[in-house]
């Protein structure tokens, strides 16, 4: 097993992640079966692994775009300022579409608040959120999560796309980052 001491506990196993993504895909397939002009907006870097697995199980027509959002400059504390890096032709692609934002985790909620506002400002016909994890904490920004994978306890988590200083995204499960590895 890789990275033996980086995590103390595995919170969500590989098998559980598989079930979460296939169950969520089924829900999405039912809800979006007759919806035209769908566009999935994958939020990088964290949602990449989750989105790949999820999108593979969707059976309705949709475009896929990606966008980079960041609020952590390394470390385990959000800076509080969310930066979106949009491709210049992205707003035009969002306009009039039914947008499904795919992200890894609802923590403070600032990223999702900024993203949903941004998509609406671009003229999206509809904006829904599809999120793998919701941290069980009081969120600074209240967001409607339309499709949620699973709640997760208040810990700094790594794996399945989630990183600490851009490492450990490759772990195939979600684990709690061990205190020994937090250097701040």
Report the catalytic residues.
Answer: 107
Q: Does 109 bind ligand IMP (CB under 6 A)?
A: yes
Region 138-167 residues binding ligand IMP, contact defined as CB under 6 A: 156-157, 162-163
CB of 96 to ligand IMP, least distance (A): 26
Per-residue binding string, ligand IMP, 111-140, x by CB under 6 A, is x-----------------------------
Q: Does 159 bind Mg ion (CB under 5 A)?
A: no
Coil, helix or strand at residue 6: coil
Per-residue binding string, ligand IMP, 63-82, x by CB under 6 A, is --------xx-----x----
* Helix, strand, coil abundance in the chain, percent, nearest 5: 25, 30, 45
User: Which residue lies nearer to ligand IMP by CB, 35 or 78?
Assistant: 78
Let me know if 108 is exposed, middle or buried by CB neighbors in 10 A (0-12, 13-18, 19+).
Answer: middle
Query: How far is CA 159 from each of CA 38, 75, 156, 171, 177, rounded to the nearest angstrom?
Result: 28, 15, 11, 4, 9
Structure tokens that stand for 6 in this block = 């980086």
109 binds, among Mg ion, ligand IMP, none (CB under 5 to 8 A by kind): ligand IMP
The residues near 110 (Cβ < 8 Å, ≥ 6 apart) are 71, 78, 80, 82, 140, 141
Stretch that binds ligand IMP, among 20-28, 88-96, 99-107, 120-128 (CB under 6 A): 99-107
d(CA 51, CA 57): 10
Region 33-52 residues binding Mg ion, contact defined as CB under 5 A: 46
Coil, helix or strand at residue 31: helix
Stretch that binds ligand IMP, among 25-33, 88-96, 105-113, 118-126 (CB under 6 A): 105-113
């Amino acid at each position: 097993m890789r990275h033996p001491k980086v995590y103390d506990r595995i919170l969500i196993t590989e098998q559980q992640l598989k079930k979460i993504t296939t169950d969520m895909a089924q829900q999405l397939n039912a809800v979006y079966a007759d919806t035209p002009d769908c566009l999935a907006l994958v939020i990088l870097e964290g949602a990449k692994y989750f989105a790949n697995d999820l999108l593979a199980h969707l059976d309705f027509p949709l475009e896929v775009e990606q966008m980079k959002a960041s609020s952590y400059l390394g470390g385990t504390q959000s800076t509080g300022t969310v930066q979106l890096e949009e491709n210049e032709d992205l707003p035009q692609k969002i306009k009039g579409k039914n947008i499904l934002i795919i992200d890894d985790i609802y923590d403070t909620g600032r990223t999702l608040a900024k993203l949903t506002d941004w998509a609406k400002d671009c003229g999206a016909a509809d904006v829904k959120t599809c999120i793998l994890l919701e941290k069980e904490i009081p969120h600074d920004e209240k967001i409607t999560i339309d499709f949620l994978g699973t709640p997760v306890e208040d810990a700094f988590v790594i794996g399945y796309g989630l990183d600490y200083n851009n490492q450990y995204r490759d772990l195939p499960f979600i684990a709690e980052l061990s205190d020994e590895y937090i250097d701040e």
